[in-house]
Chains A and B, each alone.
Chain A
Amino acid sequence: MSTTNKRNLCSTMRADKFSNLPPEITVRILENLPLADAVRTSTLSRYWRTKWVHISQLILDHHFFISIVENSSTTNIIEELTNAVNSIFSRLVGPIRKFELYIFSWLEGAELDRWVKFVSGKGVKEFTLIDCRQPGKTLPPSLFSCVGLTQLTLVNCSLHSLPLSFQGFPCLVNFEFLVNRQGSHAEEPVLEDFVSMHCPQLNRLRLIGGWCFGITIHAPKLEDLVLVGVSPYIIFEGVTKIKRLELYLPWVLRMQEIFSSLTFMEKLTLSDLFWMLNGHCEVRPPATLANELVQLAHLELIRLPLNCPFAVSAVLCLFQSSPRLTHLSIRASSCRSCSDKPHKMVEECTFPSIKTVKLSWISGLTTELQFIKFLLATTPMLEVMTIEINEDAKPELLSFVEELKQFPCGCASKNAKILLNLITNKDIVDCQ
């Protein structure tokens, strides 16, 4: 909030309404403050003295530790940090629903485990661990005793082994595993075991990082899957019910294999990495997938190089294999190693289920123009097409769209609305 707003609040709020809010709302407000600010409210008045100790979210993040280090007057920083955390723990009275901990590099394993044990005893449900120690340090064993967890986020943590006594997280629905280092092969079977054998309710999985491995996942309740990385290789075992899939990785060569087991998919997001693969331009994707994506309604393609024949054929393959595809969203880009020669498009095909199309970052390539015309000619039920164009795009494209707006002769749909937005380059830079 800006300082002027604060001043406005100062002049208009006179009554002590803040103290009259119901206690549960007061606690919610305190939970939205950085911990130090929340703790400082204890000196406002007697009424406020013990309000903060009821908070159920405890965020001991990077900012929390840094603020202590920066304001420290003693030389023994480690002792000061641990004292601060212990002092907080000793005062909290209620259950802790959400806990976030930044593991700074000098924290001793035993102390860390004591903290985790504390929140485990407080019935923690949502747990985030950000490990900034050297890679290879083990996770606190008490983490595996937090049986009530519904959400677990591990950032830069090493998953080298699971304790023998680990019974699993029976309620875990959301698991995120993020690393910004190269994954080690020793972790693959552990991750595989963790996801497949210990989280029966897992609904949402995000694996993000510099992985270079293959794992087999058995997660019958999984509906949301996000994979970001260099070259993961995932096999789904048993029935998959995945409804939403986001891939930020180069997989296009295995498209057939991957998508054939994902017939429940409703929404699919593919990024530029999906198309980028050395030497891909010689490979020809199949015309259609072996198994249709019968439920797929939303397709989002991020940084699709419309001048790349390979990427365009892969997209057409998806169109042809998705009989219920309704909403299409494409953010265009261009491939440096491909020319801008018009593609040989499949003739006499039609996509009767497509209703809305959004094209952005159109820069005026001949191939983009060709693709837009192709879409208009093949979508008889099209309702709206939105086209966002770079302001410095080629004049032919602008005149083409202007023409379309007035004379929809090339459109298969008689009711299609075409909306044209000009985006200045500045906006595009901001978007990135």
Chain B
Amino acid sequence: MASSSSSSLSRVVVKSSDNNLFVVNKKVASQSQLLKQCIDNMEEKGTNDVILIPLSNVTSNILTLVLEYCEKHADFADDDNNNQELKQWDHEFLKKFDYATLNSLTMAADYMVTKSLLNLCCQFIADSIKDLTVQQIRQIFDIKNDFTPQEEADIKNENAWAFR
């Protein structure tokens, strides 16, 4: 394994935007391309210190969730992404959150370049609004309809096929 052959430490410290520290196994951290890049850069410089990575955009409660996801996925090899058990776990994992959390988690996944988590969140949000009417989506997301009735009718006409 790469981490054991290198002389540096096997764990790094990640700091959340509200200044909490998380000790993370390198293999887990590498699920995030952002963290991986930071680790690689530091190691290239040949540091023997514990690597500290501050994340100015991610709060502790969201970082906990991202790391929980990374930890689970680090246990599976890259080609195991179609693993049924893992898919089931992913679904159960996201099901627990309210929309505000899901939203922050999506942004954190984007910021930390955890591509599989980002894809998963986008798919999950899409699935949750699929088949809903426009009115229902507005209600759920508190979107204010700022069209005049005429404007709304015109837009529907432009894409008539989608509104039958």
Contacts and interface: CB of A to CB of B under 8 A. Distances in A.
Please indicate whether A and B come from the same complex rather than being unrelated chains.
Answer: yes
Interface of A: 1, 5-6, 8-10, 12-22, 24-25, 28-37, 39-49, 68, 71-73, 80, 83-84, 87-88, 91
B103 A21 contact: yes
Given A12-B99, A14-B142, A25-B106, A1 B155 contact: no
Contacts of A42: 155, 159
B140 A10 contact: yes
A71 B125 CA distance: 26
B2 interface: no
Nearest to B106: A25
Nearest to B145: A45
B68 to A, nearest CB: 20
21 contacts: A5-B128, A13-B99, A15-B100, A19-B143, A25-B118, A25-B122, A31-B122, A32-B126, A33-B130, A35-B162, A37-B131, A41-B137, A43-B134, A44-B134, A44-B143, A45-B144, A46-B147, A72-B164, A84-B161, A87-B158, A87-B161
Nearest to B142: A16
B99 A17 contact: yes
A45 B142 CA distance: 11
B164 A73 contact: yes
Contacts of B98: 8-9, 12-13
Nearest to A28: B122
Interface in B18-42: none
Interface in B131-164: 131-132, 134, 137-147, 152, 155-156, 158-164
B71 interface: no
B5 interface: no
Nearest to A88: B159
A111 B159 CA distance: 20
Contact of B128 (A6, A15, A16, A25): A6
Contacts of B125: 29, 32
Task: Name which of B110, B127, B159 has the most chain A CB atoms within 10 A of its CB.
Answer: B159
Contacts of A35: 162
Contacts of B140: 9-10, 13
Given A33-B130, A45-B138, 18 more contacts: A1-B124, A1-B127, A12-B98, A12-B99, A16-B143, A17-B99, A19-B141, A21-B106, A24-B110, A25-B118, A28-B119, A36-B161, A37-B131, A41-B134, A41-B137, A44-B138, A46-B147, A73-B164
Contacts of B134: 40-41, 43-44
B139 A83 contact: no
Task: Name which of B100, B137, B162 has the most chain A CB atoms within 10 A of its CB.
Answer: B162
Interface in B87-139: 95, 98-100, 103, 106-107, 110, 118-119, 122-132, 134, 137-139
Task: Name which of A44, A84, A91 has the most chain B CB atoms within 10 A of its CB.
Answer: A44
A23 to B, nearest CB: 12
A5 B95 CA distance: 8
Given A17-B100, A22-B107, A44 B137 contact: yes
A43 B156 contact: yes
A133 to B, nearest CB: 22
Contact of A16 (B127, B131, B141): B141
B143 A10 contact: no
A25 B100 CA distance: 15
Contact of A13 (B118, B141, B162): B141
A5 B161 CA distance: 29
A28 B122 CA distance: 6
Nearest to B95: A5
Contact of B126 (A33, A43, A47, A48): A33
A5 B139 CA distance: 15
B43 to A, nearest CB: 28
Nearest to B98: A12
A8 B98 CA distance: 8
Contacts of B99: 9, 12-13, 17-18
Given A25-B122, A29-B122, A33-B129, A18 B141 contact: yes
A35 B161 CA distance: 11
Contact of A40 (B106, B126, B127, B162): B162
Contact of A71 (B95, B139, B145, B164): B164
A15 B142 contact: yes
Nearest to B128: A1
A233 to B, nearest CB: 29
A22 B118 CA distance: 13
A88 B162 CA distance: 10
Contacts of B142: 13-16
A29 B103 CA distance: 12
Contact of A9 (B123, B128, B156, B162): B128
B131 A28 contact: no
The 7 closest A-B CB pairs, nearest first, are A13-B99, A32-B126, A71-B164, A84-B161, A12-B98, A39-B162, A18-B141
A44 B164 contact: no
Contacts of B159: 39, 42, 87-88, 91
B123 A32 contact: yes
Contacts of A30: 126
A391 B142 CA distance: 54
Contacts of A5: 95, 128
A72 B110 CA distance: 40
Contact of A18 (B143, B161, B163, B164): B143
Given A6-B128, A46-B147, A83-B161, A13 B100 contact: yes
